[in-house]
């Protein structure tokens, strides 16, 4: 089905229609379309005094129909400002076969699971059972836009405060029955819509492109369809917009992950850690200058690192996202840097997702040249034992002066010819999060590095470390905001 001509024609038409859609219902006349081609819009509401809000998000399938009263927002009592009529009924959720009730349970449960995964990095409880008492957030995933007086081009609608503050006890509408019944990725599409609409109520705008130029198509806050798969709130600043970039409603850029973490606090992702395996070298191949393997993650692989005797030496970025998301068994390869000394080598790959969770592959032990006999033939700061050149575990904290990258816990030593410090990537467009009085200094398009204020960072200087400064890794790692979280 996914490879058929009809499917791809429909996907192209869907993409064109969505990209033509605008952000607010007052901008353009409604399009008369069905299926998945439509707008996910917001209704601006007055800002309310900011206060702690509920951590419960309820998905509602409207068994037998949901009766909604027009009035001041009160999700616990099914009251919303959005419906056109004083009283409205939202039809029950239907599955891809047009069935309701128990016959639709499997598809409904799959959508609930998807939304739980999307929100799991935050302190949010996603459930389809209403608590006995409010307040809570209600995400209606059922019916059609006409049920509440909206045009047929609307796939979802939600309130968004003028100052982008989170709204408590409000209803968002995701019109499940308006989505295509023949979409082979219907569960993921419904998950995308309800994640976006519910997040509007928490203050999030539509996103267009990440600060490094990549499409924001992998984030649920997007209109873009140039990639697919399950969408997650990404920890990277993005420009806002629908069919083109624009400033965000409440700032130049938006980081959807950080915004939700600020609103709710941190949770525990339930998507699992990355998978990774090494395919080259093998126990029988001996040392090879190319190291390869496979890696995958439900959230997507952000980077794969080559580790030799327990230290990082090189890395490559995660594969692009395609129409089905990122390949869960993606193939990665990189070259062993020429500066690696002759030694017995424990070769290993480490795969990271975009939140910093990582998994290590198994170890393949080979010999490059000959085993070392003393530290004199090893890299600066390394020791030689049992034929292996290795560094002790890193001790350098952010801001400490560093003779080489592997001295730093972050794996990143950057600076000038006069000063090199342990540092980490940062987002120059976001809130400064650099530790120990360092500031985020722009080092490329959408990239930054934590360094001394007013410092002229950042070249990869040699300093005392000579050729052993890990420049390849230092440059590559700049693209990522890494929050290390060890595999559980």
Same domain, 209 and 135: yes
376 vs 184: CA distance, rounded Å: 61
* DSSP string computed for 236-296: S-EEEESSSEE-BTTBS-B-HHHHHHHHH-B----S---EEEEEES-TTT---SEEEEEEE
* 2 alpha carbon, distance to own chain's centre: 25
Same domain, 386 and 484: no
Cβ-count burial 186-214 (b if 16+ within 10 Å, e if not):
bbbbbbbbbbbbbbbbbbbbbbbbbbbeb
Burial of 6 (0-12, 13-18, 19+ CB in 10 A): exposed
Same domain, 304 and 387: yes
Same domain, 295 and 350: yes
* DSSP string computed for 97-110: TS--GGGGHHHHHH
Residue 176 lies in domain? 5-264
Same domain, 249 and 143: yes
292 vs 349: CA distance, rounded Å: 8
Same domain, 170 and 66: yes
The runs of H, that is alpha helices, within 67-184 are: 105-119
Inform me whether the pLDDT recorded for 467 exceeds 50: no
CB 403 within 8 A of CB 463: yes
What pLDDT score does 447 carry? 73
Same domain, 202 and 215: yes
Question: Domain ends where: 264, 293, 324?
Answer: 264
* 107 alpha carbon, distance to own chain's centre: 24
Residues forming beta bridges with residue 68, ordered by sequence position:
88
The values of phi and psi at residue 206, to 5°, are: -70, 145
Question: Domain ends where: 264, 290, 305?
Answer: 264
What pLDDT score does 1 carry? 36
pTM: 0.81
Please name the helix (run of DSSP H) or strand (run of DSSP E) that holds residue 192, with its range, or none: helix 186-200
What pLDDT score does 482 carry? 26
Pairing of strands 39-45, 358-360: unpaired
Cβ-count burial 307-322 (b if 16+ within 10 Å, e if not):
bbbbbbbbbbebbebe
The values of phi and psi at residue 179, to 5°, are: -75, 150
Same domain, 316 and 251: no
What pLDDT score does 437 carry? 84
Q: Residue 321 maps to which CATH number?
A: 2.60.40.10
Same domain, 135 and 223: yes
Question: Domain ends where: 264, 297, 332?
Answer: 264
pLDDT for 334-387, tens place per residue?
Answer: 999 999 999 999 999 999 999 999 999 999 999 999 999 999 999 999 999 999
Same domain, 403 and 375: no
139's tokens: 């995400």
Burial of 342 (0-12, 13-18, 19+ CB in 10 A): middle
213 vs 141: CA distance, rounded Å: 32
Residues forming beta bridges with residue 168, ordered by sequence position:
none
Roughly what angle, to the nearest 10 degrees, separates helices 186-200 and 105-119?
Answer: 50
Half-sphere exposure (Cβ direction) of 172: Cα atoms closer than 13 Å: 35
Half-sphere exposure (Cβ direction) of 185: Cα atoms closer than 13 Å: 21
Same domain, 39 and 143: yes
114's tokens: 């998807």
Residue that is written with structure tokens 């083109």 in the block:
244
Inform me whether the pLDDT recorded for 293 exceeds 50: yes
Residue that is written with structure tokens 């120059």 in the block:
428
Of 171, 223, 220, nearest to 191 (Cα)?
A: 220
Same domain, 284 and 219: no
CB 269 within 8 A of CB 120: yes
Inform me whether the pLDDT recorded for 50 exceeds 80: no
Inform me whether the pLDDT recorded for 2 exceeds 80: no
Burial of 272 (0-12, 13-18, 19+ CB in 10 A): middle
Torsion sign across C-alpha atoms 154, 156, 157, 163: negative
pLDDT for 414-439, tens place per residue?
Answer: 888 889 999 998 877 766 678 888 88
pLDDT for 134-190, tens place per residue?
Answer: 899 999 999 999 999 999 999 999 999 999 999 999 999 999 999 999 999 999 999
Count of domains forming the chain:
3
């Amino acid at each position: 089905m996914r490879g058929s001509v009809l499917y791809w024609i429909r996907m192209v038409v869907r993409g064109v229609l969505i990209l033509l859609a605008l952000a607010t219902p007052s901008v353009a006349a409604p399009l008369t379309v069905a299926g998945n081609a439509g707008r996910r819009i917001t209704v601006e509401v007055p800002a309310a005094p900011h206060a702690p809000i509920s951590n419960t998000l309820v998905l509602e399938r409207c068994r037998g129909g949901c009766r909604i009263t027009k009035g001041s927002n009160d999700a616990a009592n099914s009251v919303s400002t959005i419906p056109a009529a004083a009283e409205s009924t939202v039809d029950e959720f239907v599955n891809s076969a047009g069935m309701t009730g128990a016959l639709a349970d499997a598809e409904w449960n799959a959508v609930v699971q998807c939304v739980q995964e999307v929100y799991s990095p935050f302190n949010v409880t996603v459930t389809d059972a209403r608590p006995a008492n409010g307040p809570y957030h209600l995400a209606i995933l059922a019916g059609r836009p006409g049920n509440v007086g909206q045009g047929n081009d609307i796939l979802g609608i939600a309130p968004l405060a003028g100052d982008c503050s989170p709204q408590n006890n409000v209803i968002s509408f995701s019109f499940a029955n308006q989505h295509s019944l023949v979409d082979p990725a219907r569960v993921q599409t419904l998950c995308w819509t309800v994640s976006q609409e519910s997040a509007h109520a928490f203050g999030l705008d539509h996103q267009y492109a990440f600060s490094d130029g990549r499409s924001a198509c992998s984030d649920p806050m997007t209109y873009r369809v140039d990639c697919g798969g399950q969408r997650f709130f990404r920890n990277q600043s993005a420009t806002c917009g629908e069919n083109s970039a624009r400033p965000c409603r409440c700032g130049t850029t938006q980081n959807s992950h950080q915004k939700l973490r600020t609103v709710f606090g941190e949770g525990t992702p339930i998507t699992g850690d990355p998978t990774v395996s090494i395919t080259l070298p093998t126990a029988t191949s001996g040392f090879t200058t190319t190291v390869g393997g496979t890696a995958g993650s439900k959230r997507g692989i952000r980077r794969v690192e080559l580790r030799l005797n327990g230290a990082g030496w090189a890395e490559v970025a995660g594969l692009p996202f395609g129409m089905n998301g990122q390949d869960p068994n993606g193939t990665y390869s990189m070259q062993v840097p020429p500066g690696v000394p002759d030694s017995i080598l424990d070769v290993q790959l480490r795969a990271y997702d975009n939140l910093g969770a990582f998994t290590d592959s198994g170890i393949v032990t080979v010999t490059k040249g000959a085993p070392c006999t003393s530290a004199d033939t090893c890299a600066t700061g390394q020791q030689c034992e049992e034929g292996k050149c290795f560094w002790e575990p890193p001790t350098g904290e952010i801001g400490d002066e560093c003779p080489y990258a592997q001295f730093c816990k972050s794996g990143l030593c950057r600076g000038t010819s006069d000063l090199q410090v342990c540092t980490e990537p940062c987002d120059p467009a976001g809130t400064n999060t650099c530790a120990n009085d360092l500031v985020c200094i722009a080092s490329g398009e959408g990239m930054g590095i934590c360094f001394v204020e007013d410092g002229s960072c950042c070249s990869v200087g040699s300093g005392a470390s000579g050729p052993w400064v890990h420049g390849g890794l230092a440059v590559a790692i700049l693209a990522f905001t890494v929050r290390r979280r060890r595999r559980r």
